[in-house]
Structure 1
Amino acid sequence: MSQTPKIRVRGLKKSFGPKTVLNGVDLDIESGESLVVIGGSGSGKSVLLKCILGIIQADAGSIQIDGEETLGLRGRERERVMRKFGMLFQGGALFDSLKVWENVAFGLIQGRGTAKDEARRIALEKLAQVGLGEAVSTLSPAELSGGMQKRVALARAIATEPEIIFFDEPTTGLDPIMADVINDLIVACVKELGATALTITHDMASARKIANKVAMIYEGRIIWHGPVERIDASGNDHVDQFIHGRADGPIQMQVTRP
């Protein structure tokens, strides 16, 4: 494809002391694509996402956003790139001291300098988009159920109408029905924005619902990458074991015995 990918990762490496977590990750995400990265615990999913976001500094490689190298960007240059991003954190990561609408409007007020009245109007609009009414807007996060907190976090992620949205384990801690509701909302919100989405998850039901493309990370590398409809016929034993949740196979989980 001749078009410049929205996100292009090449040779990305990251170690923590003697432990190598990313060992040469190559990945392209096209504009408007919804890519889900799957993999077991400790496979490097979260570190990959945090390196692309700039939360963690990679040791080597390249991370291009819209063709611009971002590895090593600092200060205002990093902030300029960050304005393209929205993020749904694992667990929601809402501010306990702020009302719901203030949580949703946080990036608008703090990051964009939006006037408070306008930010509140946008926050209410985004809350409505995820199925929450104005009555919820004045509550504190502690007064909400887990599913409602996740909806508020999604509203916050889309409030600045970002070009790229990151979803970190979006269904963790939710029952299967609420997880499916969140998956449907993610699909609808990403489509409405025309955004590019990168999701990391170990939840295959979520991956199948959200993704156009799926990539699997194992031992710090992408070992398979393709359309979601081809994942059941990937021809990769690691992928096959993971998506069917089998204990036996090439992926050996480390179990500490007493």
Structure 2
Amino acid sequence: MSEAPVNKISLKGVTKRFGPKVVLDGIDLDIPAGQSTVIIGGSGTGKSVMLKCILGLMEPDRGTIAIDGADTTRARGKARETVMAKVGMLFQGGALFDSLKVWQNVAFALIQAEKMAPAKAREIAIEKLAAVGLSADVADLFPAELSGGMQKRVGLARAIAREPEILFFDEPTTGLDPIMSDVINGLIRKCVQDLGATAVTITHDMHSVRRIADHVAMLYQGKLIWKGPVGDMDNEGNPYLSQFINGRSKGPIQMQVRG
């Protein structure tokens, strides 16, 4: 008899509202350790709010969020720092520091959080740049000297610099052409596998979903309306999921918008 998968992150009854608008409505979601979970849904469905709640950037109104079995919902100070030390993040816009060289961006947390000597941090930064397909001569450039795709790679190198247990990806292919998007998707998959990390991605790019996901969860009107293995998406028969993943204008989502 096989053992049940260990959950790295668990959300139980997570609810978040802004005034009268309920953005997350009792979310229950288990994210298995060492696997890639992708959260899909249209704009304004609560994907980013869910991610911010997991990261502790927002506090849910109700419910709990546990990481490695420990309730982190309202963790503060050292407890929050301990959680964040496990996390790497690739932001949607790259979020690189314009005034810092590439290697300093990649090594930022190594120097600031771990107090690592700059020379050692630079070595690690160059190693991580190589892991995302960038040569050492990029290290001394500034972000403004890089293309959008290269900036995303630098952001990914920074996310893996501390070899985190958990990686978060916020719309990782936004603004990239189809070829570079596929490159980034491949790098994400490789980095997750090499680190043995748990990955959580939010996106509406279905090519990315099929490329990087082990599991998929769909948000609609603040609720999780489907979750399961990525291979089950196309045969599930859920009309909301089917409309979304196939990009059809007609279906229950559109009908409710018109109403």
Q: TM-score, normalised by structure 2?
A: 0.96
* Cα separation, 2, equivalents of 1:53 and 1:19: 22
Structure 1 pair 17/159, CA: closer, same or farther in 2 (3 Å)? same
Aligned match of 2:241: 239
SS in 2 for 1:6: strand
Match of 2:30 in 1: 28
Q: CA separation in 2, counterparts of 1:249 and 1:18?
A: 27
Which AA in structure 2 matches 1:181?
V
Runs (4+) of structure 1 exceeding 6 A deviation are: none
Q: Which amino acid aligns with 2:47?
A: K
Root-mean-square deviation (Å): 1.1
Structure 2 counterpart of 1:171? 173
Q: Distance in 1 between matches of 2:167 and 2:102?
A: 20
Distance 1:120 1:235 in 2: 51
Q: Which residue of 2 aligns with 1:44?
A: 46
Aligned AA for 1:90? Answer: Q
1: CA distance, partners of 2:97 / 2:59: 25
User: Is residue 78 from structure 1 mapped to residue 68 from structure 2 by the alignment?
Assistant: no
Match of 1:221 in 2: 223
CA distance in 2, matches of 1:215, 1:121: 38
The letter for the 2-side match of 1:131 is G
Q: Secondary structure at the match of 1:91?
A: coil
**Match of 2:171, as an amino acid?**
E
1:69 Cα offset (Å): 0.2
Alignment partners' CA distance in 2, 1:53 and 1:97: 26
Q: Aligned partners of 1:111, 1:248: CA distance in 2, in Å?
A: 50
Deviations 1:151-181 (A, max 9, x none): 0000000000000000000000000000000
Structure-2 residue corresponding to 1:68: 70
Q: Superposed, which structure 2 residues align to 1:90-239 within 5 Å?
A: 90-239=92-241
Q: Distance in 2 between matches of 1:242 and 1:254?
A: 14
Looking at structure 2, the residues matched to 254 and 140 of structure 1 have their Cα atoms a distance apart, in angstroms, of: 44
* Inter-partner Cα distance in structure 1 for 2:204 and 2:19: 26
5+ unaligned residues in a row in structure 1: which ranges? Answer: none
In 1: Cα distance, 2:110 partner to 2:19 partner: 38
Query: Can you give the 5+ residue segments of structure 2 that lack an aligned partner in the other structure?
Result: none
CA distance in 2, matches of 1:166, 1:40: 18
Q: Over residues 103-125 of structure 1, what are the superposed CA-to-partner deviations in whole Å (9 max), with x where a residue is unaligned? A: 00011111111111111000000
The answer as to whether partners of 1:4 and 1:67 remain within 8 angstroms in 2 is no
Take 1:201 and 1:109, find their aligned partners in 2: how far apart are those partners? 31
Q: Using the alignment, how far apart are the partners of 1:149 and 1:254 within structure 2?
A: 36
CA contact (8 A) 1:88 1:153 kept: yes
- Please report how far the alpha carbon of residue 2 of structure 1 lies from its aligned counterpart in structure 2 after TM superposition: 4.2
Q: Distance in 1 between matches of 2:72 and 2:115?
A: 24
Secondary structure of the residue that 1:132 maps to in structure 2? coil
Equivalent residue number for residue 58 of structure 1: 60
Q: 1:254: how far off?
A: 4.8
TM-score by length of 1: 0.97
Question: For 2:7, what is the secondary structure of its paired residue?
Answer: coil
Q: Distance in 2 between matches of 1:114 and 1:217?
A: 40
Deviation at 1:40, TM superposition (A): 0.2
Residues 169-226 of structure 1: CA deviation (Å, up to 9, x unaligned): 0000000000000000000001000000000000000000000011101111111111
CA distance in 2, matches of 1:221, 1:33: 22
